[in-house]
Structure 1
């Protein structure tokens, strides 16, 4: 077995960038656009403004994290940043949260959405139980793919990222100049008209945070990126800017084609008619096929990061039985024990996702949205660290050392506040649960010699 310190540098700048774009641009923008419009009362320009606010967290957050990546000598991406710039115990706390909550909750929800899209493609009216079962089979396949061949996982990430941009850019480019009449809302669907929502638009920040999340996952492969200080820095700058541009063009194009009332009324089904408008009678099948590949790319990117988390923690002795977990298989060049740990945790959260959807306790939200909100709260520590580095003269640039972290902090606090008001009781309960997981990781490493 190889030791964890001998990881090869497999990935270049293109893969690091496509991993950011591929994870961030995925299912969220396709099935969260109607949520944004509902919370804004159908006000398209307010929705655009909120996307820009959400971008504060990803663009300036990534620029701020870049200052740490340039100065870090620790392996493990963001876990290494916490270890080097705060403490090993805090790094362990955040690592436990990412391993046991963040990655798996995102993975199960996206896999579930992918299953829904598959049933939609074949016009099958599936039960929640069948959706969850197929979702579990989907992420199982992706786990096997990445465990057996890191090259296949990387190639699939690159290809799926390019493919997923096709429907987005098509809708963005054609829809932006669309001059046709907006479609009629089907008679069997309740019409939702534009309205004044007051401060209710703040709740739109939760689905927007979901749509933008994922960029930090790319740091989990930092130690496997060629020339990481250069390539990861460029990827963390270029990737988020591309994401914001694509999102704004898609959101505006979709509203130009369908109208906000049609999107609000039909919800996630709004995308179904776009294919027919653009490509004719078979347009829905073609467009949905592209979207499914796009979502599979997200699952692949999240899984690629997730299976490495137990190994990263084990390499730093932050997990029980670390010596066994951190061993890298000489053929597959990944820790198979880490893969199994990540897989069974994800399987557990798929069951929990089924329970929350069946009972409706999250009031239209899902477990991944809440864990994403908590993660933004965790990044605040790193943003403050960058401010301190500027104060101590380690960072010379005012833009990089003050403006970027302050804007990243503002974006993080806005998302935290907006998300909590969507469902105060359960969001706060889940945040407390995430804090408890962090506490376990903190105590475990504190008690280690």
Structure 2
């Protein structure tokens, strides 16, 4: 009999927090200001407030998510959580959607925007092949071992913070500071209540990725201690960075002008550092996005591995294999390979919209799961509890429900079509689960 291999527990809190920060701070902080100030009609006030509101909602979600992650510290993240809280079908559908839609869409979107920034140096026309090349490189690096993938995450997280810090410091030093920051709230004729909903959906993409650390709990040295620190600490750092850098943007360029710029960070750099500044920041953006893309490959492949290891995914035996470096090489290739296919579209916003909606249904079920576990297992040992229970989980649940409703009914035809398509793919998972389960049951009988 071949000796069973197990994932090594060699990831610490620094790598886990770097995974949170690295997955989240990718492209949103550089590109979303345009969508934000377009929605506000060129007014800065509600845009700045929305960063805080959405950040606090994300912290509530992270605090809630952490309790489930600590109680069920298994590799696979939400798949394992939902399977144990509800039933195997819900867990499978979460893993199916994450493996087929969420992680590949995020990986491809980040690779596409990274390739677009590289176009400043090598010219246009290479976006799709370069994006595919970036994904293939990350696949190869992650196959060298979880320590390599984790080390890449730490290095690129540190590197990506350098241009952000430079923009914040020199934005305040060299910016005029004459532009309004918190007023007016919105442009003439706009409803703050309606605009706030649009802003939260846009900004939630910028916070996307903090749940990925739960997927590597099985490879952490001390998940009970390190996981809540990584999740909550990481999201708090992110909120602070986002808020400060957006003030720095406005310190240099008014909101009405940022609304017209597809790359506001580069525009601010041009104002602060001159012509060379734009290219310096473009390199920083490429580093930032590459690190985020690596994080999604690292965590996404563990979701596929978890399903396969339990025999709950097509071709499970192959996907559950570990290479000599003890990482799930075929699962890494699967998630990255689907990302390569999606990257052919070359559409950053389309891919991110698809990714966000495909994940939030299961995020919300995870938040609800905290309250369900409190009811079903009141005497269970909880080394970490959500503070201010049940207020914090309710905030997380309400935020999740709002995102789902907004994407389905309030964000335009394209958003509705993408959301319905995501639901259809999720439902396709039901017959896939039936086939896989029958095959698994047959093997047990044999």
In which range does the TM-score fall when normalised by the shorter chain? Answer: 0.7 to 0.9
TM-score when normalising by structure 2: 0.88
Aligned CA distance change for structure 1 residues 211 and 311 (closer, same or farther; 3 Å): same
Query: How do 1:238-277 and structure 2 match up within 5 A?
Result: 238-265=233-260, 267-277=261-271
Q: Is the 8 A contact 1:32 1:211 kept in 2?
A: yes
Contact in 2 for aligned 1:56/1:411 (Cα 8 Å) = no
1:430 is aligned to 418
Aligned mates of 1:414, 1:53 — CA distance in 2:
14
C-alpha distance 11-398 of structure 1, shift in aligned 2 (>3 A): closer
Residue number in structure 2 paired with 1:306: 300
Aligned to 2:139: 143
Q: Greater CA deviation, 284-293 or 109-118?
A: 284-293
CA distance in 2, matches of 1:73, 1:177: 45
In structure 2, the partner of 1:361 is none
Counterpart of 1:29?
A: 29
Q: Is the 8 A contact 1:23 1:297 kept in 2?
A: yes
CA deviation after TM superposition for structure 1 residue 38, in Å? 0.6
Equivalent residue for 1:131, pick from 127, 146, 165: 127
* Pairing 1:12-27 to 2, within 5 Å after superposition: 12-27=12-27
Would the aligned equivalents of 1:377 and 1:416 in 2 still touch at CA under 8 Å? yes
User: What's 1:197 paired with?
Assistant: 190
2: CA distance, partners of 1:281 / 1:370: 35
- Aligned residue among 186, 211, 220 for 1:225: 220
Aligned partner of 1:322 in structure 2 is: 316
State the match for 2:4 in structure 1.
Answer: 3
**Shift of residue 177, structure 1, vs aligned partner:** 5.7
- Asked whether the 8 Å contact 2:69–2:81 carries over to 1, the reply is yes
Among candidates 229, 248, 256, match of residue 234 of structure 1: 229
List aligned pairs for 1:389-408, cutoff 5 A: 389-391=373-375, 393-394=378-379, 399-408=387-396
Q: CA 1:269 to 1:145, structure 2 compared with 1: closer, same or farther past 3 Å? A: same
Matched, 1:336 2:329: yes
Q: 1:282 to 1:77 in 2, by over 3 A?
A: same
- In 2: Cα distance, 1:381 partner to 1:309 partner: 17
Q: Could you tell me which residue of structure 1 aligns to residue 43 of structure 2?
A: 43
Instruction: Report Cα offsets for 1:95-145 as digits up to 9, x if no partner.
Output: 00000000011111111100111112x273x13xx2112111111111111
2:369 pairs with 385, 391, 406, which one?
Answer: 385
CA distance in structure 2 between the partners assigned to 1:239 and 1:259 by the alignment: 29
Aligned with residue 157 of structure 2, among 155, 161, 182: 161
Q: CA deviation at 1:17?
A: 0.3
Cα deviation for residue 400 of structure 1 reads 4.8
TM-score by length of 1: 0.87
From 353, 359, 365, give the equivalent of 1:369: 353
Between 1:53-62 and 1:150-159, the stretch displaced more is 53-62
Once residues 91 and 307 of structure 2 are traced to their aligned partners in structure 1, the CA distance between those partners, rounded to angstroms, is: 9
Distance 1:253 1:421 in 2: 34
Other-structure match for 1:67 = 67
The CA RMSD measured in Å over matched residues stands at 2.5
66-75 vs 292-301, which deviates more? 66-75
Structure 1 outlier segments of 4+, above 6 Å: 395-398
Segments of structure 2 that go 5 or more residues without pairing to the other structure are 180-185, 442-446
Conserved in 2, the CA contact under 8 Å of 1:78 and 1:219? yes
Range 167-176 or range 45-54, more displaced: 167-176
The number of aligned residues is: 424
Q: Helix, strand or coil: the match of 1:441?
A: helix
Q: 1:409 Cα shift?
A: 1.3
Note if contact 2:102-2:354 (Cα within 8 Å) is conserved in structure 1: no
The residue number in structure 2 matching 1:117 is: 117
